[in-house]
Structure 1
Amino acid sequence: MKAILVDDERLALVHMEKMLGRYGNITVIGKFQLAGEAIEQAKELQPDVAFLDIHMPEYTGLQAAVLLQEVCPAIQIVFVTAHDQYALQAFELDASDYLTKPPVAERLDMTVERLFKRRGEQGQVKEGSSMAYGINCFQTLRFQYKDRPAELPKWRTANSQELFAYMLHNRGEVVRKSTLLELLWPELDKKRAMTQLYTAIYIIRQCLQKMNVDITIVNLSIQEGYVLDIGQVSIETELWERELAQISDSLEESHPALGKVLERYEGDYLKDYDYIWAEPERERLRKLWLFHARRLSRFYSDKPDLRTQSIKLLEKIQAFDPYNEEEGVVLLRLYDDAGEYDKVTASYRRLYDAYMVDLGIGIPKDAEQWFEDWKSKRERAERML
C-alpha cells in the first residue's frame, strides 16, 4: 500500500514515517509540509492512503481530503491531529480513521488493519450489483439500475443532497463556488462556508462511489467552480421529454404510446424537496404534462370504450390542477355514468374545497348546479326503491 504524509510540522512527518516503517506492506512515497504540493503530486503518485494533519496553512486537512479525492478517487484518508474536536466531522467525510497526536503503536496497528480491510472491500463489486444507468427526478431523486429496484441515495446531510441536486440540475455547466456558498451557506463567513462546501463535495463523491454510479465532479480550478459529468448515465426527465416529442400528433394512431409516456410522470420535478431554484423547471414540465394529458383526455371523451382510461387520466389531471371547473364536471359525469356514486360526492367535495378553502371564492355555478341536480335525482331514485 502506497502512502503520503501531509503535515506542516517536519518532526511529525519524520515520526509518522518511522512508525509506518514497522509495516512491510506500507511504503511512504511522499512527505509534504504543504497540502497544495501534496495535491499537485498526488495525481502522478496515485497513493492508496493519505495521512493528513487537520490544522495546516493554505488548506485544512478536511479541505485537502476533498481535493485529494479529486485526483485519486479511491484514496483512503487518515486524519492525524492533536485536536479531537474534529473527529465527528472527519468520520462524516467517511475517513478511514482518525488518530490523535502522538499516535501510539497499538492504535496505529488498528488503523493499518482497517485500511487493508477497507481496501479489499473497495476492490470488490457486491454480488448482484451493477452500474447505475439512470437518475429519476420525478417526485424524488433516485438512481435506477438495470437489474434491481431504484435506490434512494444516502447523502448524510441535507446540504450535500441539495448540492448534488443543484449540480445535476446544471449538469455539464460550470457551477461557481461563490454561487454554491450563497445558495447553501449564506449565513457563514467565506472560510467556514468553503469548509462546508469541501465537506459536502467529499460526501457526494463517497456516496456515488458506494452506490456504483459513474458520475464525476470535476474541479475546474480551486477558485472557480465545479462541473458535474454524468457520462453515460441517463436522466429520466430528459428521456421522457424526448419520447413525448417523438409521438405522432394523430392520437388515433398514437394514443396508446402517449398514455404510456404520460403514466411515467410520477410526480413533479424534485417535488419532495422545497428547492426554490427547481421551481421553474418543475412548472415547465408540469405544464408540458398537462398539455398532452388534456389532449388525450379530450380524445378519450369521444370513446365510450375508453371510459376507464378517461377517468384515470382526469383524476391525475385534477391532482395537478384542481381548479379547472370544466374538467371537474366532466369527471363527475364519468363517475355517474360508471355508477361510482360515492366518488361523485367525494370529487365534488374536493372541487368545493379547492375553490372555497384554497382560493376563497365560491364554487362555479355550473358545477354547483350539476351536483344539486344529480343529488336530487339520486334522492328520488332511492325513494323509489
Structure 2
Amino acid sequence: MLRVMIVEDEQPILDLMERLVGEHPLLQVAGSFASPLAALDRHEELKPDAVFLDVEMPKMGGIQLAEKLKAQNEELQIVFTTAYPDYAVEAFRVHAADYLLKPVTSEELERVAARLLKLHVMRSGHRPVIAVDKEPIARCIGTFETRGANGSLINWPTRKTEELFAYMLAYPNRLVGQWQLADLLWPDLDEDRALHNVHNSVYRMKKALKDAGVSMDLSHSNEGYRLQISPDFSDLERFRDFMNRTSEIDMRNAAEAAKLLRSHAGSLFGGKDYSWSAGLAAEIAAQQAGLARMLTAYYRRIGERSAAKETLRVYLQHAPLDEEMTGELLRHYAEDGEIGSFRTIYEQYVRRLEAELNVAPAEEIRKLAAAFIRKSTET
C-alpha cells in the first residue's frame, strides 16, 4: 500500500480526492492539505510515497512545491491535478509520474494507482511490506492495549476515553463527525452534554498519549476529527494492510502471512462490548478465516501437509466453532490416516457445540467421522 499526500486549495475537491484515495485498496491517505506551505512543512514527517498536487494554488504553485518536495526526497512520485491541460509539459519537467485533469474520477485514479505501484516496485525491487516483527503501539486484535514509548501500558482516565480511541483506530485516516461520536458514545445524553463529553474525551485521549510519549496526528475541524496513522501504528491496520494487498499466498508472502495468523488471532478489541464494533468485529473475523484458508491452500499446493494442519490448528484455537475449518482439519487427518488426532479434534468439537450452542455437528462432518472411525476400526 502506498502512502499518499494530497495538496489541493479548494476544499470540495480536496474532500473528493480524500474519498477517492481513501477508498482505493492500493493507496492510503498519509495527509491532506489545503495549504502548500503546510504540506511542505509536514512532508518529511509524513514520509509519503506519492503526492497529488493541484497545479494552481496561492502563495506557492504545484510546480514550485513539487520542486521543493523532490529536493527533500528525489524518489517521491508526483501526480498533478488541474483543470488546465496546458501545464502538462511543465509538469513533466519536474519528472511527474502522471497528470490528471479535474474532475478526477475513480477510473482515472485506478489507472494512476497502478502506474504508481509499478514505478514503486521497479525502484524498490519488491512490494512494500510492513515489518511484522516490530511491536505496534496499539494492539486491537485478541486484546486492546496501547503502550507508551517506554513500553508500559497506557492507563486511560475513563472507559469512554479508551472507547473513543478504539473507534478512532477502527476508522483511521478519515473524518469522523463530532455529532456522530456524540451519538455513538453518549446516546442517552442531550446533544450539548454529549458534545461536551466528546471534546473533553478527545482532550483526555491526546493528553494520555502525549504523557506516554506517543506522537499522533489528530486534526480537528468544525465537522469533526481525523486520526492519521501509518499501517504499523496498530496491529489492526497492519492486518488490514496485508489483507488489502493480498489475494493469494505464495512463496513471497507466506512467512509474513504465517506470522500474522499467529500474532493477529482472537476477537477485535479482545471482545469488548462496544455497541458500534459488532459489524467490524465480524468483518475482521471473516478476514482471519480467509487468511487461514489461503495459507492452508498454499501449504497444500507445495505439499507441506504438516504446515497446513498446523495452520488450521492455530486458527481453531481462537475460533473453535468454525464448522468449515474444523471440517477441513478433520479431512486432513482422515486423508493422512491420523485416527488419534481425528478423534481428539472431533470429540472436542462435539462437546463445544453441545455446551455452547446445544446442537450437533453438521451432517457432513458426522458422516466423515463415522466413515473414518469405522474404517480405522476395521483395519
TM-score by length of 2: 0.52
Q: Conserved in 1, the CA contact under 8 Å of 2:309 and 2:332?
A: no
- Following the alignment from structure 2 to structure 1, what is the Cα–Cα distance between the partners of residues 375 and 280? 45
Q: Is residue 298 from structure 1 mapped to residue 297 from structure 2 by the alignment?
A: yes
Other-structure match for 2:140? 137
C-alpha distance in 2 between matches for 1:228 and 1:246: 22
- What is the CA deviation profile of residues 132-165 of structure 1, one whole-angstrom value per residue up to 9, with x for unaligned ones? 974332223334678x65x542113211111121
Residue in structure 2 matched with residue 177 of structure 1 by the alignment? 178
SS at match of 1:276: coil
1-structure distance, mates of 2:191, 2:373: 65
Determine the structure 2 residue equivalent to 1:196.
Answer: 197
Is contact 2:267–2:281 with CA below 8 Å preserved after alignment? yes
Any unmatched runs of 5+ in structure 2? 1-134
- Could you say which residue in structure 2 is the equivalent of 1:267? 266
* Aligned equivalents of 1:297, 1:231: Cα separation in 2: 29
- Distance in 1 (CA, whole Å) between partners of 2:307 and 2:369 is 23
Q: What percent of counterpart residues are identical?
A: 21
TM superposition shift of 1:366: 4.0
The residue aligned with 2:206 is: 205
**Secondary structure of the residue that 2:225 maps to in structure 1?**
strand
Corresponding residue for residue 74 of structure 2? none
Q: Secondary structure at 2:361's aligned position in 1?
A: coil
**Alpha-carbon deviation of 1:166?**
1.5
Give, in whole Å, the separation in 1 of the partners of 2:260 and 2:189: 44
**Partner letter of residue 278 of structure 1?**
S
Classify the secondary structure of the residue corresponding to 2:269.
coil
Q: Secondary structure at the match of 2:183?
A: helix
Give the letter for the 1:237 counterpart.
L
State the partner residue of 2:215: 214
Task: Give, as a single letter, the amino acid of the residue that structure 2 aligns with 1:275.
Answer: Y
1:310 to 308, 330, 338: 308
Distance 1:164 1:142 in 2: 11
2:156 counterpart residue number: 155
Q: Secondary structure at the match of 2:221?
A: strand
Aligned counterpart, 2:165: 164
1:39-84: per-residue Cα shift (whole Å, max 9, x none)?
Answer: xxxxxxxxxxxxxxxxxxxxxxxxxxxxxxxxxxxxxxxxxxxxxx
* Residue in 2 that maps onto 1:118: none
Equivalent positions of 1:1-385 (< 5 A) are 134-143=137-146, 149=151, 151-221=152-222, 224-230=223-229, 234-246=233-245, 249=248, 251=250, 254-301=253-300, 306-318=304-316, 319-320=318-319, 322-324=321-323, 327-328=326-327, 330-331=329-330, 334=333, 337=336, 341=340, 343-353=341-351, 355-356=353-354, 358=356, 360-372=358-370, 375=373
* One-letter amino acid of the structure 1 residue matched with residue 145 of structure 2: R
Q: How far off its partner does 1:351 sit?
A: 2.6
Map Cα deviations across residues 282-338 of structure 1 (whole Å, 9 max, x no partner). 22233233223213223434666x343222211244343724257426336528958
- Supply the RMSD in Å over aligned alpha carbons: 3.8
Q: In 2, Cα distance between the equivalents of 1:180 and 1:250?
A: 38
TM-score w.r.t. length of structure 1: 0.51
How many equivalent residue pairs?
Answer: 244
Larger radius of gyration between Structure 1 and Structure 2: 1
